[in-house]
C-alpha cells in the first residue's frame, strides 16, 4: 500500500498530476496511485480529477520533522534525540511505549498525520483524522527517582496554555486535570503515562493532542463539546509545524523544571486558567460522586474542593459543573 503521507506530499503543490506521473515519481504501480487517491479521499482529503490529472482542492498543512526541529528552542534541541513523523500509527504514545520497552533513549519525539487508535484520559477515543491536528508524544527518562505524576500533568497543561497564548490564542482555559479548553469546549489535552523496563528503569511518555483544523466529516464522531485552533484564532492559526514546536518547547521546559522540583508558581498559574475555579462542581470518582466548590489545585496537582465547609484534595475523578450552576 502506498504511503498516504508521501502521496499527499506529492500532490501538495496544488498542480494537477496524472496517475502515471505520480507512479513514476513515487516508484509504485499506477494502480497503487489510484487506490491511494481513494484512500486519501476516504480520510476527508478533497481531491478533484481533471483532464490534466488529480489535484488537491486546498493545500495541506503537512508535518515535517526538520521544520519542527528548526523551530524549537535551543534548550529543546539540546535534549531531543530524534523527531519522527509517521503517516499513520495506532497511537503516538503507544508507539513510544513500545520503543521505551525496547530501551529507547530519552528525548524521542513521535508525531503522526493520523492515529487509528488515538486515546485520551480514562480510555476515551481521541478522534485523529489525517493532516488535520497535532498528535504528538515524547519519551522521557526522568533523572529523579521519585516523580509526582499529578504535579507533572498539571504543570505540562499550564505550559501548553502559555504556549498557545504566546501564539496569539486567547481565552484558553484548563479543566482538571489535563484538558485544554476554549469557551468550555475541548481544544486539546495532555496524557502522562508511566512504564518500566525489565531492568527496573522507569520512563514516561507524554502525549499531547491539539485540534487544529477538524474536518467536518469527523465532527459526528466527537462525543463532547469541541473546538479547534482555527476556530479559536478566526482562521489565522499558525502552521502545525510551528504549533508543534511551541508545544514541544513547553513540554520539555516543564520536564526539566520537574527535575528540580517543578515550577513554584504552579498553583497560582492554574488558578488563572482554571475554568471551574469557585464554581459548584461534581466530581465522579470510582467511589462515588463528590459535590463541592472547585478551589484550584494543591502543590501535588490534586484537585481542591470545598465540600460542606471542609477543604479536600482528590487525585482522580471526572469533574463537571453541577446542574443549575
CATH number of domain containing 49: 1.10.10.10
pLDDT for 220 equals: 85
243-262 pLDDT per residue, tens: 999 999 999 999 999 888 77
| Residue 170 vs residue 287, higher pLDDT | 170
- Between the alpha carbon of residue 73 and those of residues 16, 67, 230, 235, 318, the distances in Å are 37, 12, 24, 26, 35
Mean pLDDT score of the chain, rounded to an integer? 92
Q: What is the pLDDT of residues 140-159, one digit of tens each?
A: 998 766 778 899 999 999 99
Residue range 109-115: mean pLDDT, rounded? 97
Q: Do 228 and 211 touch, CB atoms closer than 8 A?
A: yes
Full residue range of the structural domain in which residue 186 is found: 65-269
Q: How many domains is the chain built from?
A: 3
Report which of 289, 283, 308, 287 is spatially closest to residue 297, judged by C-alpha positions: 283
Query: Is pLDDT larger for residue 268 or for residue 262?
Result: 268
Cell of residue 200, nine digits: 527496573
Q: What is the pLDDT of residue 325?
A: 39
Distance (Å, rounded) from C-alpha 301 to C-alpha 307?
Answer: 18
Q: What is the mean pLDDT of residues 95-108?
A: 95
Q: Does 52 share its domain with 139?
A: no
129-140 pLDDT, tens per residue? 999 999 999 999
Catalytic positions: 121, 186, 322
- Both 72 and 18 in one domain: the answer is no
Average pLDDT estimate for 23-49: 94
Q: Do 46 and 157 belong to one domain?
A: no
Please tell me the pTM assigned to this model.
Answer: 0.92
Nearby residues of 43 by Cβ (< 8 Å), 6 or more positions away: 4, 114, 129, 130
Same domain, 46 and 12: yes
Q: Does residue 264 sit in the same domain as residue 130?
A: yes
pLDDT of residue 256: 92
pLDDT above 50 for 324: no
DSSP string, 9-68: HHHTTSS-B-HHHHHHHHTS-HHHHHHHHHHHHHTT--EEEETTEEEESS------HHHH
Distance, CA of 24 to CA of 15 (rounded, Å): 16
Same domain, 190 and 119: yes
Query: Which CATH number fits the domain that encloses residue 146?
Result: 3.30.930.10
Note the maximum CA span of the chain.
73
The three three-digit cell numbers of residue 181, written as one number: 479548553
Q: Are residues 17 and 158 in the same domain?
A: no
Are residue 263 and residue 136 in the same domain, yes or no? yes
Amino acid at each position: 500500500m502506498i504511503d498516504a503521507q508521501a502521496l499527499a506530499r506529492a500532490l501538495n503543490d496544488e498542480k494537477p498530476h496524472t496517475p502515471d506521473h505520480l507512479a513514476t515519481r513515487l516508484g509504485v504501480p499506477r494502480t497503487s496511485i489510484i487506490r491511494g487517491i481513494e484512500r486519501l479521499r476516504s480520510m476527508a482529503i478533497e481531491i478533484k480529477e481533471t483532464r490534466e490529472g488529480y489535484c488537491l482542492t486546498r493545500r495541506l498543512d503537512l508535518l515535517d520533522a526538520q521544520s519542527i526541529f528548526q523551530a524549537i528552542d535551543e534548550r529543546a534541541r539540546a535534549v531531543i534525540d530524534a523527531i519522527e513523523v509517521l503517516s499513520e500509527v495506532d497511537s503516538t504514545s503507544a508507539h513510544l511505549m513500545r520503543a521505551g520497552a525496547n530501551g529507547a533513549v530519552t528525548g524521542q519525539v513521535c508525531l503522526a498525520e493520523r492515529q487509528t487508535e488515538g486515546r485520551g484520559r480514562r480510555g476515551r477515543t481521541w478522534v485523529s483524522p489525517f493532516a488535520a491536528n497535532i498528535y504528538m508524544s515524547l519519551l522521557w527518562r526522568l533523572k529523579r527517582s521519585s516523580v509526582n505524576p499529578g504535579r507533572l500533568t498539571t504543570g505540562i497543561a499550564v505550559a501548553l496554555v502559555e504556549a498557545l497564548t504566546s501564539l496569539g490564542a486567547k481565552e484558553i482555559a484548563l479543566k482538571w486535570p489535563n484538558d485544554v479548553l476554549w469557551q468550555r469546549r475541548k481544544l486539546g489535552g495532555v496524557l502522562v503515562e508511566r512504564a518500566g523496563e525489565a531492568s527496573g528503569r522507569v520512563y514516561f511518555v507524554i502525549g499531547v493532542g491539539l485540534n487544529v483544523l477538524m474536518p467536518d466529516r469527523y465532527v459526528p464522531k466527537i462525543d463532547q463539546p469541541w473546538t479547534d485552533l482555527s476556530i479559536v484564532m478566526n482562521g489565522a492559526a499558525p502552521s502545525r509545524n510551528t504549533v508543534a514546536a511551541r508545544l514541544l518547547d513547553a513540554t520539555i521546559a516543564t520536564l526539566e523544571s520537574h527535575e528540580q522540583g517543578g515550577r513554584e508558581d504552579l498553583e497560582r498559574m492554574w488558578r488563572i486558567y482554571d475554568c471551574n475555579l469557585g464554581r459548584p462542581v461534581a466530581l465522579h470518582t470510582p467511589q462515588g460522586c463528590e459535590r463541592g466548590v472547585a478551589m484550584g489545585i494543591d502543590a501535588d496537582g490534586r484537585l481542591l474542593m470545598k465540600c460542606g465547609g471542609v477543604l479536600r484534595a482528590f487525585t482522580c475523578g471526572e469533574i463537571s459543573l453541577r446542574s443549575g450552576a
